[in-house]
Homo-oligomer: A and B are copies of this chain.
Amino acid sequence: MNIGEAARASGVTAKMIRYYESVGLLAAKARTSAGYRVYGPQEVHSLRFIRQARRLGFLVEDIRRLLALWHDRSRASAEVKAIALEHVAELDRRINELTDMRDTLAHLADHCHGDERPDCPIIERLADTDLVSGKGCHPI
């Protein structure tokens, strides 16, 4: 199986397969005499694993650890769980950050007439020099 077939079989683009190889996530099984990468079902399985993990937002660095644990038949599930929970915490941080932005902005937009007049609490808020970065508060 060459890289194009592996890409179609795994749902990972050929470009990304080469990238994952370059960062040490997954090496091709072999090369043909012409230098073509050769993959087997096992590599495709790994690529799907990587794709699933990426879909859950894991960084390549985390995936490296998860792959190692996957291949380690004697792993402790506690190790996997720790990585997962760490990532959940990271996702929570990012969600909270974005939600703060969203709420502040939605609140401001809610108080903006949105007509032809120039008065606009959104612009006023951005231009307000007295802001001391009250994260999550949105006084109009």
Contacts and interface: CB of A to CB of B under 8 A. Distances in A.
Interface in A94-117: 94-95, 98-99, 101-102, 104-106, 108-109, 112-117
Stoichiometry, copies per complex: 2
Interface residues of A, number: 56
Interface stretch (A13-21, A23-31, A32-40, A53-61): A53-61
A91 B85 contact: no
Interface SS, A side:
helix
Interface string A68-111: 01101111111011101101100110110011011011101100
A118 B88 CA distance: 21
Interface of A: 45, 48-49, 52-53, 55-57, 66, 69-70, 72-78, 80-82, 84-85, 87-88, 91-92, 94-95, 98-99, 101-102, 104-106, 108-109, 112-120, 122-123, 125-129, 131, 133
